[in-house]
Amino acid sequence: MNKQTATIGGGCFWCVEAIMTRINGVEKVQSGYAGGHTPAPSYREVCEGRTGHAEVTQVTFDADVISYKDLLSIFMTSHDPQRSTAKAAMGTQYRSIILYHDAEQKTVAEMLLSELKDVFPDPIVTEIVPLEKFFPAEEYHDNYYDRNTEAAYCSAVIAPKVAKLRAKHADKLKPVAAL
């Protein structure tokens, strides 16, 4: 096993978590906060926009099953990387961001964004920055979508993203029974 970690944010972490947990080779997804200036921020502080943090997910994956580049490709096509904030959730805490863990991840992220620039009609605004510190989110955020599929936000915002994932990346998904 070639275990690696990716830290990414693209809107609400509930959306990114719902996408990443369905990808074959992903072993763990932890919602949290990164890219800010306040130590040990709370959800409320991050939502108020006072900490500089983005809502992110930390993804532990087997690189022998899915590459970092493929993981990022799925991430980049599952949210709008042309906007600094998510459509349904406005604020810098929802910005598109890749927090790299080493120089190789930085290089892969930069190359991928360069490859994707002609795919999107507007410029990609996804930040690529080093991960300094990851703060796990409060436990009630864990597996939020799967525990709350009937909630309005989940059915209106997350479910269409999961459907798009199934349509666009079916070959990269875990068998349904594994979820």
**What interhelical angle do 68-76 and 13-20 show, nearest 10?**
130
Over 90: is that where the pLDDT of 147 sits? yes
Report DSSP letters for 79-127, one per residue. Answer: S-TTSSS-SSS-SGGG-EEEEESSHHHHHHHHHHHHHHTTTSSS----E
- For the chain, the C-alpha Rg in angstroms (whole number) is 15
Over 50: is that where the pLDDT of 87 sits? no
Contact 114, 107 (CB under 8 A): no
pTM of the predicted structure, to 2 decimals: 0.93
Q: CA of 116: how far to CAs of 15, 109, 125, in Å? A: 21, 11, 12
Name the β-bridge partners of 136: 32
Contact 9, 56 (CB under 8 A): yes
Boundaries of every domain in the chain: 3-173
12 belongs to the catalytic site: yes
pLDDT, averaged across the chain: 92
Residue 43 has what pLDDT? 95
- 12, 15, 47, 154: the catalytic one is 12
Summarize pLDDT for 8-56 with one digit per residue, the tens: 999 899 999 999 999 999 999 999 999 999 999 999 999 998 899 999 9
Query: Would you tell me which CATH number, out of the four given (1.10.3450.40, 2.40.70.10, 3.30.1060.10, 3.30.430.20), belongs to the domain 3-173?
Result: 3.30.1060.10
